Amino acid sequence: MGRLTGKVAIITGAASGMGLAGIQLFAREGAKVVATDVAIEALEEQVKQIVAGGWEAIALKLDVSSPESWNAVVEETVSKFGKIDILVNNAGIHMAKGILEAELEDWDKVMSINGTGVWLGMKAVIPYMQKNGQGSIVNTSSIAAIIGGIADAQGAAYSASKGSVRSLTKHGAQWFAKDNIRVNSVHPGAVFTGMVEKAGIKSQVEMGRITKILLHCLHMLVNLWILLTPTCFWHLMNPNSLQVLSCL
């Protein structure tokens, strides 16, 4: 029996990168996985492999910036599985544009997915978790939410959006603790994914060099080992060895 046996989990941004690693891990741990992404064809191929391995998962198209899309996913999840135990808000995008380079359209696009998308997800699932009497929400923030600068690969809107995720997580954790709903954020550091590659990082070796700099900055700013509840500090992880289960 896995650690998530009997649990129903919605995971966003699941077609690649950390989201893909997440649905694979959750399925192996016994969860009924609702994998979501806008890249539905790529997602369906990955979910087919999970199902072929004997685990339970479905693929649903989700635009996290759309309330209607969220409502459709939540309704289908509850219709098929009867409940929602876990939400992992992982979907996100990055634009390598600083404060002076970014246009309002760029800013709004990043914010709508990375920030508003997290809020919409929480807003959609929390009422069902309240009915269940419990639930767990894990929001993917970033080390960029803490130190910015080199950690955001020149993405001003990215840092700002991930900072909003960090703050929203704390708000949710405090307001819904009475409903036995836990809300945590994870803060990945230098993880080599497709999004990072698009930002100009070309290898895990290059990622490693950045990691050393990030560790130095983080040590100076937060003394590295200080954990601020309800934030689950998740940094410098390989996407194939996720520690997100420690937040559930």
Q: Would you name the residues annotated as active-site residues?
A: 158
- Which residue, among 110, 66, 68, has the nearest Cα to 92 in the 3D structure? 110
Widest distance between CA atoms in the chain: 52
- Which residue, among 118, 107, 210, 128, has the nearest Cα to 176 in the 3D structure? 128
Residue with tokens 């996985």: 33
Residue with tokens 């199902």: 51
Category of 236 on φ-ψ map: left (φ > 0), alpha (ψ -120 to 50) or beta = left
Tokens coding 224? 């590295």
Residue 80 CA, distance from chain mean position: 23
